[in-house]
Structure 1
Amino acid sequence: MIDRPLDLDAVRTFVKIAELGSFTQAAETMQTTQSTVSLKLKRLEKRLGCQLIERTPRYVQLSAQGVTFLEHARELLKQHDHALASLTNARQRLTIGISDHVAGPELPMLIARMNAQDPELLIEIRIGSSGDLLKSFDRQELNTVIVRQHESREDGKLIANEKFGWFASQDWQPRANEPLPVATMPEPCGVRVMAGHLLDQAGIPWR
């Protein structure tokens, strides 16, 4: 039986490790050291009397107890944040990062629908490259992001599949002995890299 309250900072640290799958990334996100993150986790595990994270030189994963505790830990932090917010008159803010490849003309309508559900919610939209938005998300500057899939990330949720194609004006004709002019977003741009790779594989010069 647990007779003392849990350290919420340690609980938040555990959740970050679980979500990022890395002690190093959790430390960077929380702007602290890896040793501090490890110490907070050990204290929480000692407090609960069980191992939450199984860590080896090759991987970090939740134990069976960690999987069970994670849902409750998230709910605990959520209720804690709501309790603090209820004592202030400040409007809640939702900051969303949207990749410039995803943002479209329907965005204002979607924001209006969100605002209609909760008029007191302050919605802030930031549009940028997927890589930059993910960095901001890891620094906790954004609540959530909608970006193109990055193979190195496994902490997101697939919401749609994109289709890519080659497009040109109807009267455009390629010029002999000249590189193919390709219009893309400026670097860094994952679509530009993908297009360049495909053209290079096909042996087609481009610029």
Structure 2
Amino acid sequence: MKELDPGAVQAFVLVAELKSFTRAAEALGTTQSAVSLKIRRLEQELGRRLLERTPRLVRLSPDGALFLEPARSLVAAHQAALGAFGLERRRLVVGISHHVIGAELPLLLRRMSGADPGLVIEMHVAASREVIEGLDGGALDAAIVLRHDAGRRGGDVVLREAFGWMGAPDFEHRPGEPLRLATQAEPCGVRRMAVSALDEAGIAWTEVFVGGGVATIGAAVSAGVAVAALGRRVAPADAVDLGPRLGLPALPSLDVVIHSSLTDPRARASLRALAAAIRATAR
């Protein structure tokens, strides 16, 4: 009977979900070459090609697609076996900026849970300023926010978020009328960034929709109700950057940063998996 290395199977699952050897290595706290070696040995053991690799793309082969769900079950069973004699429960309280997280939330939660099945995740989604205040006040273990200025130093940069004036391809704007905006409720650094850019450019605007997160703002964008300043990574898949077409000022890119003083290896591993999953959503 063939015996599979659970670590190699876990590496395969991570690469399949994150679509990147680099991101999988980050989540595991190892190197890309080590992940490649694990998967190559797994493929040799199975006698099947599981992943198709190109310089720009990693995707499942037909055999890999068949193997993915059993592989997930094997990893889960292995983790359950390791915790059979009692797994210490650990609560991790994470605050995330509204503008950092989008439709990929299920993937992020899967990765955090997969990194540590004994982890109880408490997640708060709010404006970056509120998240930082929660961290400073001791209510949060970690904060994942947009860095709007140099006022808050330190932290680990997850990625550089590119912003655009996102709207539906058929969005209609009549010359001479104020630009219809969908924004996040105050306080919101992205809202402030957007309206300041319009004011400085002398472009009239009006708020027609105030959302409670990127999902609601994205819905207004997809419906053609308004234009919104959004990170391209979290904008609706059907949205386009209308800035050039409408003559709108360019928006700056902002760093997405993790702030945490945690030293617990388990918690650090979970944050590392979360950061890798967020990087994997960049497109």
The TM-score normalised by the length of structure 2 is: 0.41
1:185 aligns with 2:183: no
1:203 is matched with 203
Instruction: Within 5 Å, give how 1:88-167 maps onto structure 2.
Output: 88=86, 90-91=88-89, 93=90, 95=92, 97-101=94-98, 123-127=120-124, 129=128, 133=144, 164-165=182-183
Q: Deviations over 1:12-53 (max 9, x none)?
A: 110111111011111122121111111111000000010000
Q: Work out the CA distance in 2 between the residues paired with 1:166 and 1:33.
A: 39
Higher relative contact order (CA 8 A, sep 6+): 2
Residue deviations 1:151-189, cap 9 Å, x none? 9xxxxxxxxxxx94487xxxxxxxxxxxxxxx5434xx5
Q: Any stretches of 5+ residues in structure 2 without a counterpart?
A: 100-117, 132-142, 146-160, 163-180, 206-283
Cα deviations across residues 175-207 of structure 1 (Å, max 9, x unaligned)? xxxxxxxx5434xx5x555555666777259xx
Unaligned stretches of 5+ residues in structure 1:
103-120, 135-149, 152-162, 168-182
Identity of aligned residues (%): 39
2:3 matched to which residue of 1? 5
Q: Deviations over 1:57-101 (max 9, x none)?
A: 12110001111111111111111111221212633x464645343
- Look up the SS of the partner of 2:52 in the other structure: strand
**Which structure has the larger Rg?**
1
| Matched residue type, 2:62 | A
Residue type matched to 2:66 in 1? T
C-alpha distance in 2, partners of 1:75/1:94? Answer: 24
- Distance in 1 between the 2:119 and 2:23 partners? 29
Write out the 4+ residue segments of structure 1 that deviate beyond 6 Å after TM superposition: none
Provide closer, same or farther for how the CA distance between residues 80 and 195 of structure 1 changes in structure 2, counting only shifts above 3 A. farther
CA distance in 2, matches of 1:126, 1:15: 24
Q: Secondary structure at the match of 1:58?
A: coil
* Aligned counterparts of 2:87 and 2:184: Cα–Cα separation in 1: 51
SS in 2 for 1:4: coil
SS, match of residue 42 in structure 1 = helix
Matched length = 139
After TM superposition, list the pairs within 5 Å mapping 1:8-87 onto structure 2. Answer: 8-87=6-85
Q: Which amino acid aligns with 2:45?
A: R
Instruction: Classify 1:79/1:165 alpha carbon distance in 2 versus 1 (closer, same or farther; 3 Å).
Output: same
Counterpart Cα distance in 1 of 2:49 and 2:200: 50
Higher strand share: 2
Q: Deviations over 1:114-166 (max 9, x none)?
A: xxxxxxx8744254659x649xxxxxxxxxxxxxxx89xxxxxxxxxxx9448
Q: Structure 1 residues 50, 122: CA separation in 2 closer, same or farther (over 3 Å shift)? A: closer
- Residues 1:199 and 1:9: Cα distance change in structure 2 (over 3 Å): farther
- Structure 1 letter corresponding to 2:98: H
CA RMSD of aligned residues (A): 3.6
Q: Are residues 204 and 56 of structure 1, via their aligned partners in 2, closer, same or farther at CA, if it must alter by over 3 Å? A: same
